[in-house]
C-alpha cells in the first residue's frame, strides 16, 4: 500500500524562494487543495511540509468521501467537494481512485435506525438523495451475515478515494502549475513586521509572503500557541487496518456502531473501529477542557483516556511551547506523526469483521496503522482569517472528516485569500466562535 512515513523518500526539495504571493503551511489535503486553487489562479505559491506530503491524517484516513452525516452548514460545501472529486482526475490528469459507490450508515437495531433520522432530515433540507434501506435491502447490497443489520441509510452519490494516492497526485499537479514545494522543511514561526504577517521563518530561512495560510492539521494549535493565539484544538488516536485482496462484499463504504469498512482499489478493505478512540492527556487538554465538555460527554463511550502522549506529540507533556527562530522546533523533532496502533486493536477489528462479513473471515489483515485526528470542540472546522493578524489565514480542525471536504475547503480558502466572494455561508466556521461568548453547537460526532 503506500502509508507515507519518515522513511518515504522526499519528492519535493525546491530551492527556497525569497518570496511568494502565498505561503501555505502543511502538505495535507487542505494545504495542497488550497495551494492548487491559488496556483491555478496564477498566484505564486510556496508550500512547506515539515515531513512528507500526506504523511499524517491525509494519507492515513479511511478514504470516505461522504455527504451523509454532515453538519448543516458543511453540507453545501461537501456537496461542492463531491463534484470537485468527480472532476479531479480530469483536472489533475491522474486517477485518484475516486469511485461513486455509495456510503451506508448501518443500524444493528430499530433504535439505532431511528437515531439516523437527524441525518436524513439534514440530507432532505439540502436535497441530497438518500435511500432508506430495510433489513432485506441491506442484505441485497452487502454480502454480510444475513439479517445482521436492521436497516440503514445510503447516499448513492457518496464516494471513496485512495488518500495516499490522491493527495500526492494533487501535490504533483500543484508542482506542475509552478508552485514551489518543500518537504522536510518546517515553518518555525511567522515573520511579523509592523503588526502584519509578512512571511514565515522556515528551518532553511526566511520567506516573505503577502499572505500565509496555516493548514497544519494536528499541529495548528501548537504553532499558534507559540504566537500567543488560542486555538482550542486537540487530537485523538484512531486505529485502522487493511485486509489483503478479498471477495467483493460491497463496493463502497459502510459503518455501524462498531465497525467501518470500505472497498479499496487494490481489492482489499480498509477496516476500522467506529467506537474507539484514544485520548492522551496533556497540557492543552487541561487548558481546553472547558471548550470540550460537550463533545467529551457526547463521545464518552468511545474515548479511552491515556495519561500521556508519546514524547514529541503536539500535546505531549514535555513538548516545547516556545522556541527561538534559530532553535530546532517541535515540528522538526517529529517529521511525521506516526502513532502505533492501539494495542490489540487489529485482532478486535478482525473479529468484528468476521462476525459481520463471514465472506472475509479467512482474509488476513495485511497492515494496521493509526492516525491522530485533530478535533475542535464543536467538531466542525475553522476556515477564516486569524483576528488581529493581518493576512494570516487558517483552515484546520476538520474533526475527522476533512479528506472528503478538502477540495472545496481549498477552493474556499483560495477565494478568501484573493478577496473573492465565497458563495457559502462561513459563519459557523469563524475563528472567534469559541471566544466571542457563543455557546458551543455540537456537530455530528466523528
Binding flags for ligand FAD, 403-442, as an x/- string (CB under 6 A)? xx--------------------------------------
Among 103, 165, 213, 238, binds ligand FAD (CB under 6 A): 238
Which residue number, 57 or 82, has a Cβ lying nearer to ligand FAD? 57
- Residue 254 CB, nearest approach to ligand FAD (Å): 12
Helix H, strand E, coil C: the string for 122-167 is: HHHHCCCCCEEEEHHHHHHHCCCCCCCCCEEEEECCCEECCHHHHH
Burial letters 32-41, b for 16+ CB under 10 A, else e:
bbbbbbbbbb
Which residue number, 150 or 185, has a Cβ lying nearer to ligand FAD? 185
Distance from C-alpha of 30 to C-alpha of 409, rounded to nearest angstrom: 7
- Residue 193 CB, nearest approach to ligand FAD (Å): 20
Which one, of 323, 306, 291, 320, lies nearest residue 399 by Cα? 291
* Interface with ligand FAD in residues 147-166 (CB under 6 A): none
- Residue 146 CB, nearest approach to ligand FAD (Å): 27
Which residue number, 213 or 360, has a Cβ lying nearer to ligand FAD? 213
Which one, of 204, 233, 158, lies nearest residue 328 by Cα? 204
240 binds ligand FAD (CB under 6 A): yes
Which residue number, 62 or 291, has a Cβ lying nearer to ligand FAD? 62
Burial letters 149-165, b for 16+ CB under 10 A, else e:
bbbbbbbebbbbbbbbb
Which residue number, 51 or 282, has a Cβ lying nearer to ligand FAD? 51
215 binds ligand FAD (CB under 6 A): yes
Enclosing H/E stretch for 370: strand 365-375
Binding flags for ligand FAD, 305-334, as an x/- string (CB under 6 A)? --------------------------x---
63 binds ligand FAD (CB under 6 A): yes
Query: Exposed, middle or buried, 29 (CB in 10 Å: 0-12/13-18/19+)?
Result: buried
All cell numbers assigned to 218: 494536528
Distance from C-alpha of 151 to C-alpha of 153, rounded to nearest angstrom: 7
* Interacting residues toward ligand FAD by CB under 6 A: 25-31, 48-51, 55-58, 60-64, 186-187, 215-219, 223, 238, 240, 331, 371, 373, 396, 398, 400-404
Amino acid at each position: 500500500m503506500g502509508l507515507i512515513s519518515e522513511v518515504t523518500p522526499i519528492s519535493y526539495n525546491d530551492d527556497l524562494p525569497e518570496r511568494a504571493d502565498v505561503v501555505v503551511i502543511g502538505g495535507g489535503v487542505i494545504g495542497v487543495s488550497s495551494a492548487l486553487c491559488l496556483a491555478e489562479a496564477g498566484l505564486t505559491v510556496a508550500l512547506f511540509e515539515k515531513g512528507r506530503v500526506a504523511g499524517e491524517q491525509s494519507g492515513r484516513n479511511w478514504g470516505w468521501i461522504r455527504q451523509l452525516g454532515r453538519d448543516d452548514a458543511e453540507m453545501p460545501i461537501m456537496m461542492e467537494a463531491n463534484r470537485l472529486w468527480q472532476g479531479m482526475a480530469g483536472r489533475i490528469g491522474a486517477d485518484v481512485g475516486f469511485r461513486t459507490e455509495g456510503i451506508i450508515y448501518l443500524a444493528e437495531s430499530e433504535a439505532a435506525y431511528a437515531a439516523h433520522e437527524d441525518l436524513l432530515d439534514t440530507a432532505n433540507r439540502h436535497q441530497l438523495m438518500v435511500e432508506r434501506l430495510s433489513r432485506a435491502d441491506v442484505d441485497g447490497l452487502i454480502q454480510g451475515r444475513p439479517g445482521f443489520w436492521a436497516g440503514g441509510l445510503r447516499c448513492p452519490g457518496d464516494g471513496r478515494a485512495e488518500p495516499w494516492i490522491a493527495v500526492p497526485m494533487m501535490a504533483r499537479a500543484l508542482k506542475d502549475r509552478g508552485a514551489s514545494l518543500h518537504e522536510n522543511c518546517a515553518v518555525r514561526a511567522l515573520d511579523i513586521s509592523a503588526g502584519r504577517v509578512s512571511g514565515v521563518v522556515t528551518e532553511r530561512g526566511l520567506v516573505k509572503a503577502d499572505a500565509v495560510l496555516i493548514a497544519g492539521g494536528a499541529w495548528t494549535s501548537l504553532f499558534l500557541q507559540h504566537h500567543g493565539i488560542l486555538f482550542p484544538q486537540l487530537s485523538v488516536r484512531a486505529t485502522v487496518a487493511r485486509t489483503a485482496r478479498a471477495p467483493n462484499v460491497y463496493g463502497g463504504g459502510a459503518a455501524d456502531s462498531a465497525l467501518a469498512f470500505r472497498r479499496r482499489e487494490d481489492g482489499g478493505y480498509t477496516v476500522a473501529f467506529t467506537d474507539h478512540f484514544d485520548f492522551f492527556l496533556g497540557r492543552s487538554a487541561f487548558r481546553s477542557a472547558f471548550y470540550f465538555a460537550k463533545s467529551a460527554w457526547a463521545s464518552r463511550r468511545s474515548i479511552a483516556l491515556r495519561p500521556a502522549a508519546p514524547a514529541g506529540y503536539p500535546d505531549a507533556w514535555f513538548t516545547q511551547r516556545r522556541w527561538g527562530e534559530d532553535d530546532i522546533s517541535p515540528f522538526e523533532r517529529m517529521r511525521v506523526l506516526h502513532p502505533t496502533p492501539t494495542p490489540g486493536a487489529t485482532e478486535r477489528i478482525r473479529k468484528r469483521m468476521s462476525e459481520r462479513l463471514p465472506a472475509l473471515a479467512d482474509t488476513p489483515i495485511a497492515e494496521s496503522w493509526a492516525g491522530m485526528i485533530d478535533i475542535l470542540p464543536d467538531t466542525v472546522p475553522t476556515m477564516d482569517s486569524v483576528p488581529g493578524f493581518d493576512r494570516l489565514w487558517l483552515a484546520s480542525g476538520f474533526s475527522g472528516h476533512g479528506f472528503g471536504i478538502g477540495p472545496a475547503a481549498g477552493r474556499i480558502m483560495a477565494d478568501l485569500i484573493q478577496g473573492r466572494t465565497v458563495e457559502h455561508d462561513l459563519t459557523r466556521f469563524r475563528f472567534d466562535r469559541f471566544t466571542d461568548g457563543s455557546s458551543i453547537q455540537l456537530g455530528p460526532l466523528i
